[in-house]
Amino acid sequence: MTRSYFGTDGIRGQANRWPITPEVAMKVGMAVGVIFRNGGHRHRVVLGKDTRLSGYMTETALVAGFTSAGMDVFQLGPIPTPGVAMLTRSLRADIGVMISASHNAYADNGIKIFGPDGFKLSDEVEHEIERLIESDLSGRLAAPADLGRAKRVDGVRDRYVEYAKRTLPRNMSLEGLRIVVDCANGAAYRTAPEVLWELGAEVFSIGVDPDGLNINKDCGSTSIGALCEKVRELCADIGIALDGDADRVILVDEKGEAVDGDQLMAVVAESWKKSGQLAQPGIVATVMSNLGLERHLSGLGLALERTKVGDRHVVEHMRRHGFNLGGEQSGHIILSDFSTTGDGLVAALQVLAVVRQENKPVSEVCRRFEPVPQILKNVRIVGGTSPLDSEAVVTSIEAAKGRLGKGGRLVIRPSGTEPLIRVMAEGDDVDLVNTVVDDICSALSEVAA
């Protein structure tokens, strides 16, 4: 079945344009409510959001849809995505929903859906939701006496703060550490500084003044320049950059240099292997993770199992094969001992635990391997036809594979969240990698023009 609404991470698009319209959001609420309304008990959905202006519009429409299907809605307000996943289970809700476009600019928004177990929905359930959105649901909605109620819930931020703090080893403190945290003017603008301060750190916060329009704007995990500068200015021990919904993290060491998700997974994997906490002899990552990570883990006797891009695919593979550590180079780190989805703050805390245990600077702790030269470029596409089907593009890709040989990798894929084709290549010869990426991008641009 062709997916019309769902991408790699829920439903996403420009706010007030299809599919992020009040009409579609209301139909999503109706469809999800119909699917997850089982039994005679009062059904409940927990509904969180980030700080985008369009969150008010989308939240109101979803509430209308859910209540029309007979579900009670617990409105959480701004809260990190992993907080929604956690509270879905904690409050014994039938469904959890996060309104966010993650790292995208304020003009976009999205709808992420979690099942009662706190995990994102399967492809099959998403297909069924799409089918119901396009159908007439009038005969399957609640009777007048069975309509749902909606209420705002207080104290949810405190529950998430306590949950995050408990993921650190018992009696471990962050006292003496100077930490700069960039909350991207997003969902964690209150929770992240509170957690770090309550654990004893000296905390300096940036990106904590959301106005509905500045989420991810020149801040957060996709724009770490301000954080790097602040870390150097304050002589801080570490910088923590979250994205708009706080499900991903990029760190900055005391020198003001970035530490990506691949290095973070290497740090946690080695630590957990030593402590016996690693459930399987390896981790799960996507096709975008650096070849250097794979080589490093192999040297430790650990495997790197790859999936398609998207933290949902990583989680599915982890669950199927019993892994408890996985993630993406972009900073989605899944620690299934603690959470059912990526949690940027909890991942940062696990790295801070290693910093404490090894009593070394972050630059030493978090440089586990030398990355293989990797180049990623994007080509914007217009219209619905994929340039990947063009003979000229196919020929260019095959030529690139031949030039890279067995010592390199080539990944070309459409973005699941934006109208882009992503071209990534890596290999030990950086000049060759640059050349093959440029050649493919040129071929794509000519076809897409």
Catalytic residues: 102
How far is residue 306's CA from residue 411's CA, in Å, rounded to a whole number? 12
| CA–CA gap between residue 268 and residue 332 (Å, rounded) | 13
What is the distance between the alpha carbons of residues 408 and 401, in angstroms, rounded to a whole number?
A: 8
Buried b (16+ CB within 10 A) or exposed e, 274-311: eeeebeeebbbbbbbbbbbbbebbeeeebebbbbebbb
Helix (H, G, I), strand (E, B) or coil at 66: helix
Handedness of CA 195, 198, 204, 207 (dihedral sign): positive
Contact 306, 287 (CB under 8 A): yes
SS3 annotation, 7-46: ECCEEEEECCECCECHHHHHHHHHHHHHHHCCCCCCEEEE
How many whole angstroms separate alpha carbon 260 and alpha carbon 251?
A: 7
Contact indicator for 272, 264 with CB cutoff of 8 Å: no
Q: Contact 357/349 with Cβ under 8 angstroms?
A: no
Widest Cα–Cα separation across the chain: 69
- Whether the CB-CB separation of 272 and 347 falls below 8 Å is answered with no
d(CA 372, CA 348): 24
Token pair of 327 as six digits? 């993630």
- Cα dihedral 189→190→191→193 (10° resolution): 90
Pull the structure tokens for residue 395: 């020929």
Cβ burial of 390 (10 Å; 0-12, 13-18, 19+) is middle
For the chain, give percent helix, strand, coil, nearest 5: 40, 20, 40
Q: Which of 89, 104, 101, 227 is nearest to 160 (CA)?
A: 89
